Amino acid sequence: MAARNETATREAKETRILRRHQVEARTGLSRSSIYARLKRNPKRPGDYDPTFPKPISYGKTSNGRNSSVGWIEAEVEAWLTAQIEKSRKA
């Protein structure tokens, strides 16, 4: 039982959720640029990036709608690493 709790605690510490302002700070992208990378827009096709991490929803409002979104830190870091590697190969 104690081993299971330790494993769950370790996994919880490893999975961090970043709020939008933290993603902005880490990536250097603005709010609109982050959301532009998540959704195709025929007027600006170059903005969409299918490799950009998708946000997760957590929390609900009183009417059942999602109240908060966040990004998994490890996914954001992996995306940044891939961008660095891609730019160094160019």
pLDDT above 60: residue 12: no
**The pLDDT of residue 11:** 56
CB 79 within 8 A of CB 52: yes
Question: What are the DSSP E strand ranges found in the chain?
Answer: 17-18, 56-60, 66-72
How far apart, in Å, are the Cα atoms of 24 and each of 16, 33, 34? 16, 9, 8
pLDDT in tens, 18-64: 999 999 999 999 999 999 999 999 999 999 999 999 999 887 777 77
pLDDT in tens, 56-77: 988 777 777 767 899 999 999 9
Q: Angle 20-27/73-89 helices, nearest 10 degrees?
A: 20
Overall pTM surpassing 0.85 (yes/no)? no
